[in-house]
Amino acid sequence: MSAPDPLDELRPEYPKRSARGELLLRRVRLADELPPVLDRPYLIKGWLDRGAISVVYGAPNSGKSFWAVDVAHAVHSGENWAGHRVEQGAVLYCAAEGGALFANRLAARKARFAVLPGALALAGRNNDAVALAEAVEALSETHGPFHLIVVDTMARAMAGADENAAADIAGLLHNLAQIVDRTGAHLMLIHHSGKDAARGARGHSSLRAAVDTEIEIAVDGALRVARTTKQRDMAGGAELPFRLEQVTLGRDADGDPVTSCIVKHEGGQPTQRPLI
């Protein structure tokens, strides 16, 4: 004879219970039946999780795209990133706002991950969310599972939708969640800070509420710094200083040097500061 189900008292026998109601009822568990999660599927331990959504924001020329290229390079190569463990996997960098010289940033970093240049719409009615997920699934057949998708920038991916409108941001987040669900990748949005940098990323506040991780890239004197301003399931408040080191790629037709930059981390391990 089987032991009684401890949840029977939560499941009274209503004569007209819907199939969906029954399914929801069967998903209910007692809190002490759920074991603690000791091993989390991280992308960069302590900074980014697999299957999550992040926003990396900063003022123009703060170095946020250089920083994102550095992260993408680390994930693709599997090398430790500023002293943090990295889960190696394929990367797709959607360079919707890279300009003609974005390739120079990749060459300076000696990057080898996949790049999707040009326009990309992830909001609005006729968006590319499903098509992007399908493209990543197809690429996975030869490159292996994709662990990171970078969208640079969110403003370009809005495709005319309003980043200050709750409904448009909700549509964007729905589409991003679809991509994450289908690919299992972390999706990183590169975004701009608002006119008042102290108020964080530009646009509707529902974006910050919905994402798992928010990272600010700021200029701090002679250095730049990456700060985790939100972490849903990790300790927040990490600060990692870095600088941009100039790299010479060659010379142009006039004999003048052509340069770009790579990220150089300062001091290895990040410091920790309290979140306010």
Give tens-digit pLDDT for 203-254. Answer: 888 988 889 999 999 998 889 999 999 998 777 788 999 999 999 999 999 9
Question: What is the per-residue pLDDT for 124?
Answer: 87
- Is the pLDDT confidence value at 173 over 90? yes
Burial of 177 (0-12, 13-18, 19+ CB in 10 A): middle
Sorted by where each begins, the domain ranges of the chain are 42-120+144-157+184-272
Question: What is the per-residue pLDDT for 276?
Answer: 35
| Dihedral Cα 196, 201, 203, 204, nearest 10 deg | -110
Which residues are paired to 193 by β-bridges?
Answer: 201
Per-residue pLDDT averaged across 12-27, rounded? 80
User: pLDDT higher for 109 or 2?
Assistant: 109
Per-residue pLDDT averaged across 268-274, rounded? 42
Question: What is the per-residue pLDDT for 132?
Answer: 97
48: which residues sit within 8 A by CB, 6+ positions away? 42, 54, 71, 186, 188, 213
- Write out the E strands in the chain: 42-44, 48-49, 53-58, 90-95, 114-117, 146-152, 186-192, 213-220, 223-231, 238-251, 257-265, 271-272
Question: What is the per-residue pLDDT for 267?
Answer: 67
Question: What is the per-residue pLDDT for 199?
Answer: 67
- Is the pLDDT confidence value at 25 over 80? yes
CB 68 within 8 A of CB 229: no
How does DSSP assign 189-244, residue by residue? EEEEB-SSGGG-BSS-THHHHH-SEEEEEEEETTEEEEEEEEESSS---EEEEEEE
Per-residue pLDDT averaged across 241-268, rounded? 92
- Is the pLDDT confidence value at 139 over 70? yes
| Average model confidence (pLDDT) across the chain | 88
Q: Which sign, positive or negative, has the C-alpha torsion 83, 89, 95, 100?
A: positive
Return the half-sphere exposure (C-beta side, CA atoms, 13 A cut-off) of residue 38: 1
Question: What contacts 24+ positions apart, CB below 8 Å, involve 33-37?
Answer: none
| Dihedral Cα 57, 265, 241, 202, nearest 10 deg | 0
User: pLDDT higher for 150 or 199?
Assistant: 150
Question: What is the per-residue pLDDT for 1?
Answer: 57
CB 73 within 8 A of CB 113: yes
> Each residue of 63-92: pLDDT tens digit?
999 999 999 999 999 999 999 999 999 999
- Is the pLDDT confidence value at 191 over 50? yes
- Is the pLDDT confidence value at 272 over 90? no
> In 3D, which of 90, 71, 48, 53 has the Cα closest to residue 175?
53
- Is the pLDDT confidence value at 14 over 60? no
- Is the pLDDT confidence value at 32 over 90? no
pTM: 0.84
Domain 42-120+144-157+184-272: homologous superfamily in CATH: P-loop containing nucleotide triphosphate hydrolases (3.40.50.300)
CB 156 within 8 A of CB 120: yes
Question: What is the per-residue pLDDT for 63?
Answer: 93
Burial of 66 (0-12, 13-18, 19+ CB in 10 A): buried
